[in-house]
Amino acid sequence: MTTVAVVPGDGIGPEVVAEAVAAVDELGLGIDFDVLDGINARTYRERGAAMTDADFDRVRAADGVLVGAIGHPSVPDPAYGRGVLLRMRFELDLYANYRPVRLLHDRLSPLRDPTRRGIDCAIVRENTEGLYAGIGGALRPGTDAEVAVDTEVSTHSGVTRVLRFALSAATRSVCMVDKANAVESGGGLWQRCWDRERRTRPDLETRHLYVDVAAMRLVRDPDSFDVIVTNNSYGDILSDLAAEVGGGLGCAASANLNPETGAGLYEPVHGSAPDIAGTGLANPVGAVLSAALLLDRLGHAGPARSLRAAVRETVEAARCTPDLGGDLDTRAAGAAIRAACR
């Protein structure tokens, strides 16, 4: 029996994850879901921690974990997200955050030039180091003399393994993105590892861009990218940018992976969207396409393809939520995807 842990989380998280779970159920693959619905901002407010060790053991024991979104305006403390999402990413050592973007329909592209719309790329985001390593602190906090330091960590092994993942995920090209012209030590390390690793794939086009120019190019020539590999924070930012260029944040899916252990956490790229929670406006496509990435990793490539085809068909027919030009609510959009799977 395959078991998938589910962490619906906050805001629109439970709304979109319900549609992803229903879509997987519809495919009849005998997958069992272990839903951890107490991991949310309310639990954090009441108990000072949202995820217990027992919760984490259930996540660890599962064959994969599907997450909605973690975060709520009532809990500005970053310790909440660190104790849930970042805990799973770090303790399960999910070092490659794979965030594919593929334009679902021409009408969704904010790009005016129709020749620039062949968007089909992926951001591979280093997921366990960088500015997220939690190394740093504040001197004299709350005073006029406050100094805050957050250290950006890059290790030879961490950079090497994510570059190798990116090179293995590409079919056409890989673009390494850093800020080596300003960030000296980490930049140098990324550059040296890249120079070595890229030579292992002479069949691929390999190139390098600084992150500021990469942002510009993603808007100007998004069709020129296949795989982009970058550090944790640049990957966070560029994946929201790529998502919007590729049809909207509500469509963007992600997989947080460790190919060596087989562990994986799947989640839409977007957050808990408190501005639309409870209105039925949440687009379930990012969550459903994240479930398709989960099915790929569980060895169900055929059903994953059916799910992607069903998403494409409903978006083409505008049987989707208003952000994609439809007039369905979250549940009706999920039902339309399930109907297209049959």
Cβ pair 136, 148 in contact under 8 A: yes
The verdict on whether 240 is a catalytic residue reads yes
Q: By rule CB under 6 A, what count of residues binds ligand IPM?
A: 5
Is 71 one of the binding residues for ligand IPM (CB under 6 A)? yes
Residue 14 or 71: the one with the smaller Cβ distance to ligand NAD is: 71
Cβ pair 246, 292 in contact under 8 A: no
The pattern of x and - marking residues 175 through 204 that bind ligand IPM according to CB under 6 A reads ------------------------------
Place of tokens 């009441």: 46
Is 19 one of the binding residues for ligand IPM (CB under 6 A)? no
Is 250 one of the binding residues for ligand NAD (CB under 6 A)? yes
Stretch that binds Mn ion, among 190-198, 231-239, 249-257, 314-322 (CB under 5 A): 231-239
- Cα–Cα distance measured from residue 82 to residue 87, given in angstroms and rounded to the nearest whole number: 6
The verdict on whether 93 is a catalytic residue reads no
Is 81 one of the binding residues for ligand IPM (CB under 6 A)? yes
Is 283 one of the binding residues for ligand NAD (CB under 6 A)? yes
Residue of 44, 80, 95, 132 marked catalytic: 132
User: Which of 129, 236, 244, 296 is the binder for ligand IPM (CB under 6 A)?
Assistant: 236
Q: How far is the CB of 140 from Mn ion (least distance, A)?
A: 30
Residue of 178, 179, 266, 296 marked catalytic: 179
The verdict on whether 236 is a catalytic residue reads yes
Residue 29 or 237: the one with the smaller Cβ distance to ligand IPM is: 237
What, of Mn ion, ligand NAD, ligand IPM, none, does residue 72 touch, CB below 5 to 8 Å by kind?
ligand NAD
The verdict on whether 327 is a catalytic residue reads no
What, of ligand IPM, Mn ion, ligand NAD, none, does residue 249 touch, CB below 5 to 8 Å by kind?
ligand NAD
**Residue 35's beta-bridge partner residues?**
6
Q: How far is the CB of 180 from ligand IPM (least distance, A)?
A: 22
In the structure encoding, which two tokens stand for residue 139, read together?
């001197």
Q: How far is the CB of 89 from ligand IPM (least distance, A)?
A: 8
- Cα–Cα distance measured from residue 84 to residue 111, given in angstroms and rounded to the nearest whole number: 36
Is 99 one of the binding residues for ligand NAD (CB under 6 A)? no
Residue 69 or 180: the one with the smaller Cβ distance to Mn ion is: 69
The verdict on whether 323 is a catalytic residue reads no
Chain residues that interact with ligand NAD, rule: CB under 6 A: 12, 16, 69-72, 81, 85, 249-250, 267, 270-276, 281-283, 286, 323
Chain residues that interact with ligand IPM, rule: CB under 6 A: 71, 81, 85, 236, 269
Provide the annotated active-site residues: 132, 179, 212, 236, 240
